[in-house]
Structure 1
């Protein structure tokens, strides 16, 4: 490790926000690093490691072989800077939460916060220099209010081949897990989004990043789509037969929307399970809606006529214009979690959230906030007039058999 060895210090275990946590501080300025370490010690951290730049931080992580709970990093460091460190942590699915410390302009910090979320890092917030112990305490308290979702960071034990994935599909190993959506005005559970999971005979529950990209790249996504549609429709009808007034949302692949026969095929797949199309919402991304526009618009219109709800997913991350959006028969606008998760503490994200909700109201469509991870997030989207919300603070994705009991307990 360059220049100076890693240092480890332990807190006294007192009842403080960082009690029991393993932290890593990456900061090139020795005095400021020492000051931050002292503050974190005072907050009761179980252990604190120090690094003088991003490269040193990565070496510490590799050497120790155990995950850190929170990584505190400066941005402007010689050698490997904080942005490169954040990218490396995200690509490695480190699982650590992140606190950024910097003296940079607030607008630059807002951009870096958005970048961190795009790399899959759970960002607790930023500490503007000079740091204070109170600010660290506030951000660390967020770690406990919404522990990171292990599904988000859990890597597959190995890389699966396309043949293995297709074999899993053929052996009926894929199924939807459901994340509930609640009505923010009534508190009632409105429905759930179906999220694909692979129940692997050796590796357990495998997350979508391990198979979705490969299926998309090789034009083999159709089989998974039909599986998700059929099983989601069947599960939703079973919930309704059991007296639960729930709807279900299913994601559609970009590549399938240009198929001239897709609307009839989807309708058959759903109604064959006994579910009326009006109880299913089909979610598509902004980019999908802007690709091969003629055919996509034809298919979306046919699906809407048949009674399906249509949701534009991850709104705010694409490049669509308002004019294009008004031409598409959407019934729901789903605001991307990268804006929801930071809106309580980041002015630019809050502005995007509020303007998106305002547009949804003017277009007369239902608004959904995804990525609600804390009580602050929930209170804010409710205060801003959002219709529905989903996220880990409400519930994590669960098997279909668990949802009815969860709904009854929530109610």
Structure 2
């Protein structure tokens, strides 16, 4: 039986090297290589036939610091896990972890010095599950503009829907249409693999029209079934620059007999606004026809206070990165509460995305957020799965005590 690969521990303090080696041994990881110099550690890595399952790294060291070492790991396509252990402040530690993830490295929860046995044990458990030798993270397939355009024309795009609920009553008030590509051989392909291709290829308008048409038709089906759900459709700034979106949405809702107020247009800002006049023209016309307008992923990308000042939004969606874990992170909570208060002061409805656990839900209830969306409530699903999910959600409301005690 082959011996376990060693964990690499890199820290310039001999005491910390001894401490970490001892703590790792107590957790059953007695094969460690301890080094105090980044250059020497890289030479050791390059000499190995297989990468170590984990690198434990200090970020503030003389000579090559931890940030430089992270960059070198990324250049080598390091397939193990990175555990940051540092005495620097929490913000620097979190920022370095985000940098590592941006480099597409696997990370586990960073630890402050000196780490506790419990914190180290939890960090190890996150990423050191048994793995086949030589196994590396799967490489995502890259699709060409021709393939994506052909998929649109072949009718291979389908909408899935993620529920939105009223936090106070638990009532399901709407859904967001999230496009998927039902690829004939690759299965279900997620939008981050093909929507940017359509944007860069100059045919995102065709994609949006397919999504919008399917969403409006589905809204009609739900209305006929007695479900008055507001269906949200994601629209980019490129869609608004052609002066055709408003006419298209008016025609689609009229053809299906769907009141425009049942359709929410969520503006995503993956790129800068090309024409203020075109965007204003389209958004004003949509508002005049009583479509609802939402600024999506507020606080990320190109979303800004200037957009709130200049464009006629009536809803603000707090980005998921500011919602999840805000109950435990003071900086996230400050940004979350500031966004919530800003929306309220502007007379806008506020939706919190990224509700992934009970703590997120309880924070929203505490702060009086009106509408919530996220995996804790429901994952995106095909339209025909919504009815069964509704029954499950109604049962959860009471079984899990999700409603406030004063709810009747």
CA deviation digits over 1:174-195, x for unaligned, max 9?
Answer: 1112222222111222222111
* Change in CA separation of 1:233 and 1:220 when aligned onto 2, cut-off 3 Å: same
The answer to whether structure 1 residue 312 and structure 2 residue 295 are counterparts is: yes
The answer to whether structure 1 residue 378 and structure 2 residue 361 are counterparts is: yes
Q: Which residue of 1 aligns with 2:119?
A: 135
* Change in CA separation of 1:324 and 1:311 when aligned onto 2, cut-off 3 Å: closer
Secondary structure in 2 aligned to 1:401?
Answer: helix
The answer to whether structure 1 residue 215 and structure 2 residue 201 are counterparts is: no
The answer to whether structure 1 residue 179 and structure 2 residue 162 are counterparts is: yes
Q: Which residue of 1 aligns with 2:59?
A: 75
8 Å contact from structure 1 (residues 258, 292) kept in 2: yes
8 Å contact from structure 1 (residues 256, 262) kept in 2: yes
8 Å contact from structure 1 (residues 7, 49) kept in 2: no
Picking from 388, 393, 402, the partner of 2:371 is: 388
| Distance in 2 of aligned mates of 1:363 and 1:282 | 19
User: Unaligned 5+ residue runs, structure 1?
Assistant: 1-5, 10-23, 144-152
CA apart distance, 1:253: 1.9
* Change in CA separation of 1:82 and 1:288 when aligned onto 2, cut-off 3 Å: closer
Alignment of 1:57-68 (within 5 A): 63=50
Picking from 318, 331, 335, the partner of 1:348 is: 331
8 Å contact from structure 1 (residues 25, 48) kept in 2: no
Alignment of 1:15-164 (within 5 A): 27-28=10-11, 32=16, 35-36=19-20, 39=23, 63=50, 73-76=57-60, 81-82=66-67, 85=70, 100-112=84-96, 115=99, 125-136=109-120, 156=140, 158-164=141-147
Picking from 341, 344, 347, the partner of 1:361 is: 344
CA apart distance, 1:90: 12
Q: After superposing the two structures, state which structure 1 stretch, 128-137 or 287-296, moved more.
A: 287-296
8 Å contact from structure 1 (residues 311, 330) kept in 2: yes
* Change in CA separation of 1:34 and 1:273 when aligned onto 2, cut-off 3 Å: farther
CA deviation digits over 1:123-168, x for unaligned, max 9?
Answer: 764421111123346668999xxxxxxxxx9753x32222111111
Q: After superposing the two structures, state which structure 1 stretch, 375-384 or 171-180, moved more.
A: 375-384
| Distance in 2 of aligned mates of 1:31 and 1:215 | 54
* Change in CA separation of 1:80 and 1:322 when aligned onto 2, cut-off 3 Å: closer
CA apart distance, 1:308: 1.2
| Distance in 1 of aligned mates of 2:20 and 2:46 | 20
CA deviation digits over 1:92-118, x for unaligned, max 9?
Answer: 897x99764321123323544555676
Alignment of 1:313-332 (within 5 A): 313-318=296-301, 322=305, 324-332=307-315
Q: How high is the TM-score relative to the length of structure 1? A: 0.76
CA apart distance, 1:170: 1.2
Q: Which residue of 2 aligns with 1:167?
A: 150
Q: How many matched pairs?
A: 377
CA apart distance, 1:264: 0.8
8 Å contact from structure 2 (residues 11, 57) kept in 1: no
| Distance in 1 of aligned mates of 2:76 and 2:274 | 28
| Distance in 2 of aligned mates of 1:222 and 1:49 | 54
| Distance in 2 of aligned mates of 1:253 and 1:91 | 36
Q: How high is the TM-score relative to the length of structure 2? A: 0.77
Q: Which residue of 1 aligns with 2:401?
A: none
8 Å contact from structure 1 (residues 103, 129) kept in 2: yes
* Change in CA separation of 1:349 and 1:112 when aligned onto 2, cut-off 3 Å: farther
The answer to whether structure 1 residue 205 and structure 2 residue 163 are counterparts is: no
* Change in CA separation of 1:308 and 1:377 when aligned onto 2, cut-off 3 Å: same
Q: After superposing the two structures, state which structure 1 stretch, 74-83 or 294-303, moved more.
A: 74-83
Picking from 350, 374, 381, the partner of 1:398 is: 381
CA apart distance, 1:82: 4.9
Secondary structure in 2 aligned to 1:193?
Answer: strand
Secondary structure in 1 aligned to 2:169?
Answer: coil
User: Unaligned 5+ residue runs, structure 2?
Assistant: 128-136, 395-408
8 Å contact from structure 1 (residues 229, 270) kept in 2: no
CA apart distance, 1:391: 1.9
Secondary structure in 1 aligned to 2:384?
Answer: coil
| Distance in 1 of aligned mates of 2:46 and 2:314 | 49
